[in-house]
Amino acid sequence: MKACITILLSLWMLAGLSGPLLAATSIGVIYGSQLACNPANPGCTPIPLTLTTLCTVTCPLRSSFSFTDSARFWGSTAGVGACRTSTDGGVTWAACASQPYAAGDTEHFAGASNGNVIGVGSPAGVCTMSLSTNLGVSWAPVFTQAGSCTTGGLEGQRIYCLSDGRCEFIAVGQIFRTANNGLTWTAGETGIAPNCSIIGMAWDGTAGIAPSQNTGCGGGGVARSFFSSADAWADSVTWNGTQGNCWGTVVYNGTARAICQSASATPDERYTLRDSTGVNIASLTLPGAELAGTSAGGPAISPFTSTLYIFAQSSSGFITVWLSRDNLASFTTLGTFGGGGAGIRGGNTFYSSGCIYLTGGLTPMFGKICP
């Protein structure tokens, strides 16, 4: 036994190693497929690569996850019964037990970090934040302000909640925020993004970006964006309008960016990555050229460092997903989501329990990308 111990110690010293003989091995963060590392090990974070269409009939037009139940999602559709929820991870959706508003096609819903559910609407032209503390069984208004705060069509999810209890709702021309899971609200900055619809939003609590369509909502370029730094939003400089439609927003490597179509690019070079002022950071050459009739690009998401997913709708109505894992140096095609229809520009994405979830926007569709 003594000889064995001596041999082990000798080998340890010859290898030039130091520290305890039984020191734990520490692996760094690993990004890759499910097979690249064991997710049970610290530091293993597989990149979602497998696409699945979950729902194409009763799906929401916008959606968010629940902080307290990984199988429950919240969403909104057009018209009466806008509040919808899924308790099976987005496979099926049903109307919430009750609705905070009698009608309205511009309502937004999100789950707060303590399980509360927030519904935003403008009944009778009054901006109203309603709160449910019992998973949508009943609702109570907790904040009202004269004037509509949900005008701007069905474009994108505009209420976002963080795990620390903060939520922000981005209205056309004003910010509304809560620090206690929707219980009380304050009306914040005004005068931002005055032009028509806000096309979704990306916000991580300290940085964010939300572009708005040009005057008249006819497409053809973003007129303005607004940018958040240190949780304070401000209108950016006027965009030049030559970058094409900007439907996607993302916090990429810690910095807020917008994903835009190139106004005169060839079909497989349709996208640019813009900063909050509209300056082109990078041109994104995507593989698998789309047809010339490709519709507006959709949301983007970046849950991992140097990794970016971009969604776009082809003229055939299917949603193609591209992925870059080398800081935008190259892109590969992951595949397509079914659904089709009128456009992905009103959709949104979120990251939950290791998967990316995607709503189709103007056409009901809900899918996920998982390791």
pLDDT of the residue at 113: 95
pLDDT of the residue at 180: 97
Where along the chain do its domains lie? 47-366
Indicate if the pLDDT at residue 26 is higher than 70: no
Indicate if the pLDDT at residue 336 is higher than 80: yes
The mean per-residue pLDDT over the stretch 169-175 comes to: 80
pLDDT of the residue at 150: 78
Strand partners, 207: 229
Give the pLDDT band of residue 7 (cuts 50, 70, 90): very low
The mean per-residue pLDDT over the stretch 7-18 comes to: 29
pLDDT of the residue at 15: 30
**pLDDT single digits (tens) 96-116:** 999 998 866 568 899 999 999
pTM of this prediction exceeds 0.75 = yes
* CATH number of this structure's domain 47-366: 2.130.10.10
The mean per-residue pLDDT over the stretch 284-291 comes to: 62
Indicate if the pLDDT at residue 9 is higher than 50: no
**Separation of alpha carbons 38 and 285, rounded Å:** 32
Share of the chain above pLDDT 90, in %: 23
Q: In what order do the strands lie in the sheet with 297-301?
A: 297-301, 308-313, 319-324, 332-337
pLDDT of the residue at 25: 29
Please spell the DSSP secondary structure of 274-303, one letter per residue. E-TT--EEEEE--SSPPPTT---EEEEE--
- Record the tokens describing residue 32, joined without a space: 């890759």
pLDDT of the residue at 104: 66
pLDDT of the residue at 285: 74
End-to-end C-alpha distance for the chain, whole angstroms: 46
Share of the chain above pLDDT 70, in %: 64
**Range scoring the smallest mean pLDDT among 52-56, 186-190, 301-305:** 301-305
More confident of the two residues 4 and 267: 267
pLDDT of the residue at 120: 92
Q: Which long-range contacts link 337-341 to residues 24+ away (Cβ below 8 Å)?
A: 337/51, 337/53, 337/365, 337/367, 338/53, 338/56, 338/365, 339/53, 339/56, 339/363, 339/364, 339/365, 339/367, 340/313, 340/316, 341/317, 341/365
